């Protein structure tokens, strides 16, 4: 397919999106990530039945917390796609990167730099 | 177990905003089970608070610790050596833990991080319901194991009242009538004739009506 997608994404592999914990998401932002998104299997297609639904709930929970602390809940998203959907993976990556670039850098990262 | 619910982060921020070194103190017991004040919730709250204050440009040290229990001396003593490093503690144990920590560490402000709700059960994950009000005079043997003190809105001892309709309580259509449950349970136990026995007037002096209570057990005292 030879698809390209932005190189500023760091992929962290997990056995199932159900493994993604809210603390993983929050710590990523605390350490300075500008955005985080979880890519899970299609709803109804989870090998572990409900892993992707759990992940979505945690993403929603993280959104609320990030809104409260002023980082912005829009910086975290959840997407569902099948493992065969390479073009969609690339499309989502481009969209997410564009969105985060529009939002600008993580304010926590900026404050940390200022303090250093 | 004692069931608690998380306080909004905004409320906790308001409490600690004038401090600089704060310890978030969790509890490994009831509040861990009801997912309000265990190690995980300590991590989430501490992370959120660190981000908030950093974003505000305020330098703030926010550390995490979770004790086995906060309602016993031996576990609360575990932070004795570090407590001086902080100018405030947010305890996300139940109200018991918050108060015991405040009694023990007299000069350190202790703020509650959860709202303590009731003594109850985990009906399913994410759903906790009340079962006991600690009235100090258990009558469950007479009511088929279903408590009219905690589960009947009127706490009546000889029910149901006229508000019971199709097995539900009049105060809320989703609330089961405790006396309906008692009747069904007595039938199932083949003890329905006991329903006719009138309950004597309950002695409420062992409930909160008699003021704060205590249990003294000389046989186990050192």
* A57 and B CB contact within 8 Å: no
What was the pLDDT predicted at B209? Answer: 85
Residues B51, A114: C-beta atoms closer than 8 Å:
no
pLDDT averages per 10-residue partition of chain B, 222 residues? 97 97 98 97 98 94 98 97 96 98 96 98 96 95 96 94 95 95 97 94 90 95 93
Residues of B within 8 A of A108 (CB-CB) are: 51, 54-55
Question: What contacts A48, CB < 8 A, 6 or more positions away?
Answer: A16, A18
With contacts defined as CB-CB under 8 Å, which chain A residues touch B47?
A: 23, 26-27, 30
Q: Please indicate whether, in this complex, the C-beta atoms of B51 and A115 are within 8 angstroms of each other.
A: no
Per-residue CA distances from B110 to A10, B16, B65, B87, B90 (Å):
40, 10, 14, 9, 6
> What is residue A40's three-state secondary structure?
strand
Phi, psi of A45 (to 5 degrees): -105, 10
Q: Which of A66, A68, A111 sits opposite B57 (nearest CB)?
A: A111
Element of type H or E holding A39:
strand A36-40
Query: What is the reported pLDDT for A115?
Result: 81
Question: Beta-carbon neighbour count of residue B140 at 10 Å?
Answer: 12
Mean pLDDT taken over chain A:
95
Q: Is B59 on the interface with A (CB under 8 A)?
A: yes
Q: Nearest by CB to B51, which of A22, A23, A30? A: A30
Nearest-angstrom CA–CA distance, B200 and B215: 24
Using an 8 Å CB-CB cutoff, list chain A residues near B56.
70
Mean pLDDT over A4-22 rounds to 95
Determine the pLDDT at residue B220.
96
Q: List all residues of chain B from 10 to 29 with a beta carbon under 8 Å from chain A.
A: 10
Nearest one of B195, B214, B105 to B143, comparing CA atoms: B195
State the average pLDDT over residues A99-107: 96
Nearest by CB to A30, from B47, B56, B59: name it. B47
Going from the N-terminus, what domains does chain B have, and what CATH number goes with each?
A: 2-118 (3.40.50.2300), 136-206 (no CATH)
């Amino acid at each position: 397919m030879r698809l390209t997608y932005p190189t500023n994404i760091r992929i962290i592999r997990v056995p199932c999106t159900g493994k993604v914990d809210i603390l993983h998401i929050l710590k990523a932002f605390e350490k300075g990530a500008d955005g985080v998104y979880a890519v899970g299997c299609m709803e109804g297609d989870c090998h572990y039945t409900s892993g992707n639904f759990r992940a979505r709930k945690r993403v929603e929970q993280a959104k609320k917390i990030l809104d409260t602390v002023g980082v912005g809940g829009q910086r975290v998203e959840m997407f569902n796609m099948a493992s065969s959907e390479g073009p969609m993976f690339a499309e989502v990556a481009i969209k997410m990167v564009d969105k985060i670039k529009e939002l600008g850098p993580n304010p926590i990262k900026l404050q940390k730099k200022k303090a250093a | 177990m004692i069931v608690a619910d998380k306080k909004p982060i905004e409320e906790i921020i308001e409490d600690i905003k004038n401090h600089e070194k704060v310890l978030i103190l969790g509890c490994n017991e009831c509040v861990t089970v009801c997912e309000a004040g265990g190690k995980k919730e300590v991590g989430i709250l501490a992370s959120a608070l660190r981000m908030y204050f950093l974003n505000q440009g305020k330098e703030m040290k926010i550390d995490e610790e979770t004790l086995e229990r906060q309602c016993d001396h031996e576990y609360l003593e575990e932070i004795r050596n570090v407590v001086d490093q902080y100018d405030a503690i947010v305890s996300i144990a139940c109200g018991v833990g918050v108060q015991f920590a405040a009694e023990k560490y007299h000069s350190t402000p202790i703020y509650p991080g959860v709202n303590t709700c009731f003594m109850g059960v985990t009906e399913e994950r994410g759903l906790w319901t009340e079962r006991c009000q600690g009235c100090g005079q258990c009558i469950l043997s007479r009511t088929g194991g279903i408590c009219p003190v905690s589960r009947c809105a009127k706490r009546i001892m000889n029910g149901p009242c006229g508000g019971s309709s199709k097995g539900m309580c009049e105060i809320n259509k989703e609330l089961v009538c405790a006396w309906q449950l008692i009747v069904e349970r007595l039938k199932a136990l083949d003890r329905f004739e006991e329903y006719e026995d009138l309950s004597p007037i309950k002695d409420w002096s062992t409930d909160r009506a008699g003021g704060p209570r205590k249990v003294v057990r000389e046989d186990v005292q050192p």
